[in-house]
Structure 1
Amino acid sequence: MSKNYLCLLALLVLLFSFNFPVVLAQDKMVRIEGHVIDEHSRPLDQILVELLNPGDSTVLKIALTNAEGMYFFEKIKVGSYQISISGLGYKRFVGTAFDANSTSATQNRSDIRLEAISKQLNEVSIVSTKPLIERRMDKIVVNVENASRFTGNSVMDVLEKSPGITVNDDGITMSGKSGVQILIDGRQTYLSQDALTALLQGMQSSEVEVIELINKPSAKYDAAGTAGIINIRTKRDKRSGANGNVNIGAGYGETSKYNGGASLNYRGGKLNAFADYNYSDYGVEGFLNLNRVVRYAGATTTYLQHTGYHDRKTNHAYKAGLDYRLNARHAIGFLYNGYLNGSASPDNPSNTAIQTIDGLNTIVGTTRVANQNLQRFHNNSFNLNYIGKLDTLGQELIIDLVYGTYYGKENDQRKVDTVYNLKSGLYFVRNSTLSDINIKTVKVNYTYPLSKTTTLQMGLKSSWVVTDNNLQYLKSLGDELHFQSVGLFSNRFVYDENINAAFLDYAGQYGGLGIQFGLRAEQTNASARLINVSDRNYKYIDLFPSLALSYKLNDRNDLSLSYSRRIDRPDYDSLNPALREFDNKTFWKGNEFLTPQYSNGVEFSHSFKGVLITSVEYTVTKDAMIGVTEQDDATGRTYVIKRNLNTVKNYSTNLYAGFTLLKWWQINNNLNVYHSDFNYTYNNNDYHGGQTSVNLNLSNSFNLPGGIVTELAFVYQSGLTYGLDKINYFSFIDAGLKKAFLNKKLMIRASLNDIFNKRIINGVTRYQGIDLSFNQKRESRIARLSMSYAFGNSTVKQASRRANAAEQEAGRLKQ
């Protein structure tokens, strides 16, 4: 079977090597060209030009003007045509019909002068009409930059408030399904769960334009992500000339919060250069109550554990880059992204108190843990890219090179004071964890138009990721002077992964029927080494087909059907078999025998006028990776570990309604009902669990007098089952408002999150002798105020056509 896979990979490579020449019998062909200028006779760049059939206004071909304002249509049959020209900020021009005859090989059209709608059309006015949530046929789009209630929130906060998204200790789930792949501007982060969580918590909503929730990605996307893909698209200034933006904000809940940032942009001629910097400093407070009942050897012991945590986090995010248009068809770009995030609790340590109670309800032991933690994470990513339009027919080549580094350092100091059966003990712990990750990726995508309505895409990608984690665990009994390394906890773990991929993707439109099908092959080569202990190698090849059908019934109704096969590979931390201690009763350990999980999912949807969209979905996940709690009854210790747990089936239906109820009242509602069915064998016992859950997201926007826009949102998550855990319902209400001043250059936003402070997570885990309940509360009722000011040239330039092509590859080289 593996030989067949290798043959397929070789075939895909060969297909990519050819240009798929299509020989079309053409009689007399001509070239049509023209020149587009503004009211001051200056050439207009990147203006959309359409060649129309004058009989029914059908679009036959499209082109974009170059830096000199010229447009070209190659290999046009002799006949009658019409020109339509449109650009953002200009009135649309539609010319009279003309004849392209064979008297000349090149047909020159006279200069076309476009009339500006407004000389000062700023970015804010363009996006202000976008709803908070847009439900499209293939994804849900959350317009983050438009929402005042997200003011001052982290990206992780925004995700938690997005339709169908739940965040828990195991990561992010989508419609109850684990295995979500996070992309930033269309690129994988390749970070472990802990590192990714730190990145998203440090990333501010002010850095983000939109978040895309993609349920059934096509073959051109990486196969990782059994639940789907979340693509976080950061902001890029679309204004021409020299301009920028500054922002500042503050908030308070139980701790103070501050943020600010600035961006600079220059767009003119062939060059676009930009730079951004954002900073945040905020406190985090909360608590976790964990109650366990252990029955062993005829005795019952209860452990009541309370942890209160207090952290202060600082985050720096910076970005710089440039795009340079070599000529009308070729462009190169460079992008640098950096993050420097940290947290500390030196002056106000987190505290854990554990009471041990016997069967007679007598306290027989107490443990107090004072924990001081210092973390630093530093990311650097360098990207070089090229986009080339090989002809005017639509052939396109995209090359993307990425090199990234990640460095993490965590120092943890704990004082553990215990008393049990009148005997006391005291010890000190020092943990030092160093993480180094190096990432290299190469991606080449090629697009070939088979006809006016059919396109073939193919691509190759290779990624190399090396992660090196070094944990030193030191322990001292009785004092803070004589620390010794503890081999059970100290370790160095190195994970080396190479993934090679190739794909073919066909898309065609046949009247009202749209078809897209693709096949992706991925070869994985990986090794996991626990230095001086164990060494494991992983090699496998998989195929990932995808299919999407769409049909337009009439002007109001559209149908679509999609299918995809996906994979989730274990992250680096989950494979590290070493033991990690949270306190003397709670531990986390990896599983070197963890294997990938695979899913097959199908979704059917119906859209009515784009404002009422319903969908149903069915997904089966094999070898699902689920975090489970295991218990040593003799010692009362619990261990959290990921296991492959046979099969998980997910059924879901989604209803989206977005409409204008009144002239001043806009509503965007999303209802997601899903059922997760878990079936697995664990410790030689069959286990079956499942629950139907509801996620409701109601968003209202009100346009009040004086240009004030207010928002009110209600989010409800019913009880749900995730693996062995049952989590109770929770809900919250957010509010926000915004108003523009100084000709919409100054924007003031205010928000109040979780108005009634009701966001508390409660749950239980009960199976095979484990009887555990928990409740967790973190700071959630927070009031925030922010201001942003846009300066410089406010004329918006038509977005580059190459950006649209890049966004088809999940947002690369965005404008």
Structure 2
Amino acid sequence: MKKLFNIIAVLFLISTTGLMAQQTTGKVTSPSKIVGVAKDVETGEAVPYATAALYAAGSDTNVAGAVADGDGKFIITGMDPGSYDLKISFLGYETKTVSGIQVVSKTGDVNIGEIEMSDEGLALEEVTVQGQRDLIEERVDRTIYKAENDKTTAGGDGTDVLRRVPMLSVDLDGNVSMRGSSNITVLIDGRPSAIAASSITDALKQIPADEIKAVEVITSPSAKYDAEGTSGVINIVTKKNNLQGMSANIRTGAGLRGSDFGLNASARKGKFGFTLGGYGRAGYNVNGSFENTQMTTNDDGTISSVIQSADTKSNYLFGRYNFGVDYEVNKYNFLTAAVNFGIRNRSNSQNDFQTQNYVDGNLMRNALRETNTKDNSNSVDVSLNYTKTFEKKGKEISVLTLYSSNNGENSFVNTLFEEDMSTIDSRLKNDNPSKNEEFTIQLDFVEPIGKDGKSILEYGAKNILRKAYSDFAYFQADGAEGDYVEDMNPNLSNEFSYDQNVTAGYVSYTATLLKNYTIKPGLRYEYTTINADFKTETTTADIPAYGTLVPSLNLSRKLSNGNMIKASYNRRISRPSLRYLNPNIDASNPLQVSQGNPDLDPEFTDNYELGYSTFFKNTMVSFSGFFRNTTGSIQSVRTVAEDGVIYTGYDNIGHERAVGTNIFTNISLGDKFSLNGSVDAYYAMLDNGLTDPKYAASNEGFVVSGRMFGNYTLPKDWQVQAFTFARGNRVQLQGTSGGFYMYGIGLNKQFDEKRGTIGFGADNFFTKEFKMKNEIITPTIVQNSTNIMRNMNFKINFSYRIGKLSVDQKTRKKKSVNNDDLKGGGSEGAEMQQNK
């Protein structure tokens, strides 16, 4: 606990120091101010939270800056009398420059009025924006990473993009975590997707990096969002347009480890808009190996040990195809519809899979195996949405629907050789076809309140009906040619169905108090009913219905010079996904068997957060501190059988606490060079709450990660970018998982009036292979494993745009369904997200 108090003291000191510095600034009496309002040139609406940066006239020296409020108004202070240039920027808009601003005294005000900002698609070939646009944007409730400005990810996928986002960590296998927790919600364009329903990792690999416009990290979701996601919500915003005309873009890339090809087209005529696209990505030569050593203490006092090793190889083929249409019925009524298809084919093999069994140091058995695993699936999302607006600005009604389906086929064949290590003795096969279906309907209301309309009441209702199905069976065969015979044991061959219905209602209120304060309380109630059933009646699952009340509160205070401090609290619920529920026994490694638990309950988390952001001259710095408390956490339960096999199941026995901080900075050195980096650190405290000494477990310790990204613009449209990321060992309930690092560099050249881009990239070019060492320690088991991945990669990327688009005079914002629930790789939940 002493370590915990020290951490809290450090976080308090950071926040207090920022506040004291701000209060010191406030002692300056009546400083000179530059005041203005950022507005959309087409709609006349405010551009909230636009960034205003002030430069000495005719130079790259940044003097001061500010962030606009919700009405687009910004106030810049802290400059001396003189001549200045002002640059206004915001995601989705061209940077606007106002030159020749004169400040004549230290106390006078300069009102530059309304600054009209254009959509970044306007006059693409005629406008040249000088300077490096920021990669990170801070808003009241989220951090936005502008992925479209990062050229090092060209030819990569969503995993490559998320590795560069503050507060996120992505390991070598593509598993995503936020502030140390992998229980997060991932949305695509503000809504869930069937491609992410079973695995966030695989879903990200199906999204091309070139199609990602931005990544929004929402650490404290309001009541509008589903109550799912312990750590928060990640919304991946893809590139879309509301332009007139036709355009097509082709891109391709080839590398040592993988290749990709994509084609996208857009058309808009009058009230109709269409999009059509496809993308494919293949991976090959993804080789590696693993070593595993485990020791177990038997009841008779003897020690059994197992040593395993194998060479691994992975190949995959991912594809994603989409078609969308939107129609403007009239000024106040809009319809949108979309169909998305996804495919995933992955095969993994373990060759020369050797297992040696020892008892008190004496070799008892030496076995050789080969294991081949397939993970194939296809998915479809169909959505139809209706939005009605009113003469009263901000008032809106939405009816949103979504149908998602994912069909999976998982299987493995485990081949055992005889003692001569060349003749096949037997084969074990497991087939596990599965299906996930989901239908969602959502009704939302937005009602501005008061004469100025700054207070907003939001309320709505939602229903999610889910159906999960798993058909699993085991088969045995003799020799290399023997027929497979099904094992009729109901624990090994059965059918499992899991129906879940979540009905929810919410209300949220946003109000501005005393000019600089904003408060946003919310309340959400969700009622869940579950029906789980097995085909064979000898196995049952009885899960009662339950209701959940989820409060949330967000507070913020705008300080002078654009600084901001914010605090939040929310309660979250995490329902177990099919990954944890599936009763299919995974025995691809016969000495490490795992199985889901259909009787799992949800886990609950309380989140507390304090944040402070500031900037001075050419540097932006953001601090945040958090505390997370999870009860009923779903944890692994490991037992050892008499034959030495380790069985892993799941139960609601965990208690997790974490306290930590995130520090992020972005530095712009002139128009050509920028540098940003972040450090994430938290102290984890885990306990499974058991008293039996055989199973009781607790652990605690620090987890630290950091990243750095640099960009330099060269003459004649050349650009070079580099990044690096590292994470230390991660604390787990029973042991640790190994740390890792990675790095990359990219060089890109634009040509043909920036219609085309060709580039070269290299990843981990000095490192032949990465080793990750994991450790599991229990009163009866000590296991050490080493996974090796060969991630050195060189790639060439090419893209070219044909056709021309011009800005539509009526740019509409669209809404869609979000389903944010399910722990463990699901991306299901709810929120109406406005997207450009």
TM-score with structure 2 setting the length? 0.79
User: Is the Cα–Cα contact under 8 Å of residues 745 and 791 in structure 1 kept in the other structure?
Assistant: yes
Closer/same/farther in 2, CA of residues 192 and 258 from structure 1, 3 Å limit: closer
Instruction: Tell me if 1:378 matches 2:399.
Output: no
1:244 to 245, 248, 259: 248
Q: Quick check: 1:525–1:539 contact (8 Å CA) kept in 2?
A: yes
Deviations 1:571-623 (A, max 9, x none): 12312334221122121111233221101111111111392111111111111
Could you report, residue by residue, the CA deviation over 1:306-347 in whole angstroms, capped at 9, with x for unpaired residues? 2322232112210111111111221110011110121246xx
Residues 1:181 and 2:180 are matched in the alignment: no
Q: CA deviation at 1:549?
A: 0.7
Distance 2:130 2:354 in 1: 50
CA deviations on 1:352-391 (whole Å, 9 max, x unpaired) are 221223433x543222221233332110110001111122
What is the aligned counterpart of 1:559 among 554, 565, 572? 565
Q: How far apart, CA to CA, are the structure 2 residues paired with 1:117 and 1:687?
A: 54
- State the secondary structure of the residue aligned to 1:240: strand
Other structure's SS at 1:153 match: coil
Q: Which residue of 2 aligns with 1:654?
A: 662
**d(CA) in 1 for partners of 2:266 and 2:497?**
41
Give the Cα–Cα distance (whole angstroms) in 2 for the partners of residues 59 and 559 of structure 1.
Answer: 13
- Do structure 1's residue 704 and structure 2's residue 714 form an aligned pair? yes
Distance 1:224 1:806 in 2: 15
Q: Is the 8 A contact 2:194 2:380 kept in 1?
A: no
Judge which range, 705-714 or 767-776, deviates more: 705-714
Shift of 1:303: 1.3
Q: For each residue in 1:9-52, what CA deviation from the matched residue of structure 2 results, as whole angstroms up to 9, or x when unmatched?
A: xxxxxxxxxxxxxxxxxxxxxxxxxxxxxxxxxxx99532579x
Q: For 1:259-658, what aligned pairs fall within 5 Å after superposition?
A: 259-283=260-284, 284-296=286-298, 297-344=300-347, 350-360=351-361, 362-417=362-417, 419=419, 426-451=425-450, 452=452, 453-486=454-487, 487=489, 488-510=491-513, 511-532=515-536, 533-609=539-615, 611-632=620-641, 634-658=642-666
Q: Counterpart of 2:61? A: none
Structure 1, gaps ≥5 residues long? 1-43, 52-57, 63-86, 94-112
Task: Tell me, yes or no, if the aligned pair for 2:414 and 2:588 is still in contact at 8 Å.
Answer: no
Q: For 1:93-104, what aligned pairs fall within 5 Å after superposition? A: none
Structure 1 residue identity aligned to 2:396:
E
Q: Partners in 2 of 1:512 and 1:187 — Cα distance? A: 32
- Rounded to whole Å, the distance in 1 between the matches of 2:46 and 2:775 is 61
What secondary structure, in the 3-state scheme, does the structure 1 residue paired with 2:716 have? helix
Change (3 A) 1:743 1:383: same
What is the one-letter code of the residue matched to 2:492? F
Q: Structure 1 residues 369, 538: closer, same or farther in 2, change over 3 A?
A: farther
Segment drifting more, 134-143 vs 725-734: 134-143
SS of the counterpart of 1:570?
coil
Residue 235 of structure 2: which of 231, 235, 241 is its match? 231
Q: How far apart are the structure 1 equivalents of 2:122 and 2:406?
A: 45
Deviation at 1:61, TM superposition (A): 9.3
Task: Specify which of 730, 747, 768 is matched with residue 757 of structure 2.
Answer: 747
Question: Could you tell me how far apart the structure 2 residues matched to 1:298 and 1:807 are?
Answer: 54
Alpha-carbon distance between aligned partners in 2 of 1:116 and 1:354, rounded to the nearest angstrom? 61
User: 2 CA distance for matches of 1:619 and 1:712?
Assistant: 33
Per the alignment, do residues 199 and 781 of structure 1 end up closer, same or farther by CA in structure 2, a change over 3 Å counting?
same
Cα contact 1:447–1:456 (8 A) shared by 2: yes
Residue matched to 2:678? 670
Unaligned runs of at least 5 residues, structure 2: 1-39, 48-67, 73-91, 99-115, 820-829
Select between 761-770 and 702-711 the one with higher mean Cα deviation.
Answer: 702-711
- Please give the alpha-carbon distance, in whole angstroms, between the structure 1 residues aligned to 2:252 and 2:621: 38
Q: Is the 8 A contact 2:382 2:403 kept in 1?
A: yes
Question: Partner of 1:715 in structure 2?
Answer: 725
* Other structure's SS at 1:179 match: coil
Deviation at residue 643 of structure 1 after TM alignment: 2.7
Question: Residue 776 of structure 1 aligns to a residue in which SS?
Answer: strand
Change (3 A) 1:745 1:648: same
Deviations 1:771-797 (A, max 9, x none): 001111223221111111111114345
Aligned to 1:762: 773
Question: Matches of 1:59 and 1:728 in 2, distance apart?
Answer: 43
Contact 1:88 1:796 in 2 (8 A): no
Query: Does the 8 Å CA contact 1:446/1:458 hold for their aligned counterparts?
Result: yes
Query: Matched residue of 2:561: which SS?
Result: coil
Is the aligned partner of 1:773 residue 2:794?
Answer: no
Q: Show CA shifts across 1:209-260 (max 9, x none).
A: 22222111111011110111122222213543111211011111xx4x2111
The 1-side partners of 2:753 and 2:410 are apart by 47
Change (3 A) 1:501 1:792: same
Mapped partners of 1:221, 1:173: distance in 2: 19
The whole-number CA distance in structure 1 between the counterparts of 2:289 and 2:127 is 40
Q: Deviations over 1:638-663 (max 9, x none)?
A: 22322323321110111111121344
CA contact (8 A) 2:470 2:582 kept: no
* Equivalent position amino acid for 2:509 in 1: Y
Flag the 1:342–1:351 CA change in 2: closer, same or farther, 3 A: farther
In structure 1, the partner of 2:835 is: 814
- The 1:760–1:61 alpha-carbon spacing in structure 2 relative to 1, beyond 3 Å, is closer
SS of aligned partner of 1:800: coil
Matches within 5 A, 1:19-98: 46-48=42-44
Give distance in 1, aligned partners of 2:136 and 2:547: 38
- Confirm or deny: 8 A CA contact 2:195 2:379 kept in the other structure: no
Bigger CA drift: 680-689 or 314-323? 680-689
Identity %: 22
Question: Which shifted more, 236-245 or 397-406?
Answer: 236-245
Q: Match of 2:806, SS? A: coil
Shift of 1:179: 1.5
Alpha-carbon distance in 1 for matches of 2:495, 2:228: 27
Supply the distance in 2 between the matched residues of 1:584 and 1:114 (Cα, whole angstroms). 62
Please say if 1:688 is aligned against 2:688: no
How far 1:696 moved relative to its partner? Answer: 0.6
Q: CA deviation at 1:142?
A: 2.8
Equivalent pair of 1:233/1:811 in contact (CA under 8 Å): no
CA distance in 2, matches of 1:282, 1:606: 42
Measured in 2, the distance between the counterparts of 1:545 and 1:679 equals 26
Which residue identity lines up with residue 247 of structure 1 in the other structure? R
CA contact (8 A) 1:123 1:796 kept: no
What's the secondary structure of 1:471's corresponding residue? strand
One-letter code of the match for 2:201? T
Q: Amino acid of the residue matched to residue 252 of structure 2?
A: I
| Offset of residue 465 of structure 1 | 0.8
2:111 is aligned to none
Q: Distance in 2 between matches of 1:629 and 1:165?
A: 29
Pairwise CA RMSD: 3.4
Query: Following the alignment from structure 1 to structure 2, what is the Cα–Cα distance between the partners of residues 127 and 179?
Result: 41
- Describe the shift of the 1:274–1:124 C-alpha distance in structure 2 as closer, same or farther (beyond 3 A): farther
TM-score normalised per structure 1: 0.81
CA distance in structure 2 between the aligned counterparts of 1:211 and 1:503, rounded to whole angstroms = 26
In 2, Cα distance between the equivalents of 1:429 and 1:114?
64
1:372-420: per-residue Cα shift (whole Å, max 9, x none)?
3333211011000111112233210111111111111234222112549
1:650-696 CA deviation, whole Å, 9 max, x = no partner? Answer: 10111111121344220111111111111232362343311112111
